[in-house]
Amino acid sequence: MRHIICILLCLVLCAATCTAVSAQESETITAIVFPNSSAVAEENLSVSGYGDKDSGYASSTVGGRLYASVSGTDYRKLEWSKGEYQDLGMQPVMTGGTKNPWGNGAFLEIRVPTAGYESITFSASIGATKKGPRDYKLQISTDGVNYSDVAGQVFSIPANKILYPAFDNAALPADAANVDMLYIRIAVASNMMVNGTAGLIGGTGGETAINNILVSGIPMAVSTTAYSTTTRASEATTTTTEAAFPEQTTASAVTADTTTSALSAPTAQEQASTTTTMLSGVNTGDDRSGTQISALVLLLTLSGFIAVGATKSAKNVGSRTQNN
């Protein structure tokens, strides 16, 4: 009966533990947001202290930088737009011009390290003037050379000078997780302009705007959380066992000392340490949660049996002490 009670308690505590492990929240890896309260029309963003076209632009949050290219090969500076984008004021834009006509493969690109994170998501707002590019697609790369399209992540700007949340918490492929540098590219996807006519490529006018960039992910490390939760579960199992069978905990001072010694024995510590090490090395792919649950069930069930065994041992010692 005592074995069954301990096992049931372990399973209940395991369920709570697994919920805590799987409920990790997404964290911001980088946020690049350009406030326009002090913006000056057509002023280069480098004057505002946000960086430059070669080293990339960034705001106050460390971790990622923004690059732009009208031609698809050379970097292009960002500057504040002339007029307002709806009621959102001036926005950072890259523009086509006589010396910088629109070419094949124009893009806006965010570079950010995602080491230690998985389940990467991306958000950004974009807009354009009537002679700017209408169609865009999202791409990623882990080497800055080979890019692949993110399935289903395309956007067409429907109206002139409006900033749209074009990519809103878009889920990126698994390849985006845990890399030293991730390249996220908003690539111009056609020759169409916002005014509905073809002729973007080679054009010398128009602009595209970008702001409110956010890259998020879920931390991959779980070993510390698993260890602390497992330790608390083992202690809770022992306490509950003592409450259910009080006659086993009041035999004598010797009984208490023996129970304490049994619960703190090196074997129990080594077992918990070994399981923690196992969890820290678990594959962090899609099947991670199932593996962690199995490991925790095993550990907590064994903790229950250890507690029962320690209690029985203590009872026997107490009985012998009384008989003597």
Residues 14 and 234: beta-carbon distance below 8 Å: no
C-alpha distance across the termini of the chain, in Å: 30
Least Cα distance to 219 among 28, 81, 91 occurs for 28
- Residue 29 CA to residue 110 CA, distance in Å, equals 12
Q: What share of the chain is helix, strand, coil (3-state, %, to 5)?
A: 35, 25, 40
Place of tokens 């004598």: 252
Distance separating alpha carbons of residues 203 and 185, to the nearest angstrom: 21
pLDDT at 64: 95
pLDDT, residue 60, reads 72
In this prediction, residue 63 carries a pLDDT of 85
Give the list of residues 6+ apart from residue 60 with CB closer than 8 angstroms, or none. none
Q: What are the C-alpha distances in Å from 68 to residues 184, 215, 216, 226, 285?
A: 12, 17, 21, 43, 33
pLDDT in tens, 51-103: 999 999 998 767 899 999 999 999 999 999 998 898 899 999 999 999 999 99
Query: Do residues 183 and 111 lie in contact, with contact meaning Cβ atoms separated by under 8 Å?
Result: yes
Q: How does the average pLDDT of the chain come out, rounded?
A: 76
Q: Is the pLDDT of residue 129 over 70?
A: yes
pLDDT-based confidence at residue 266 (cuts at 50, 70, 90): very low
Question: Who wins on pLDDT, 136 or 280?
Answer: 136
What pLDDT score was predicted for residue 84? Answer: 86
Q: Which two tokens stand for residue 222?
A: 């779980």
Q: Is pLDDT of 210 > 80? A: yes
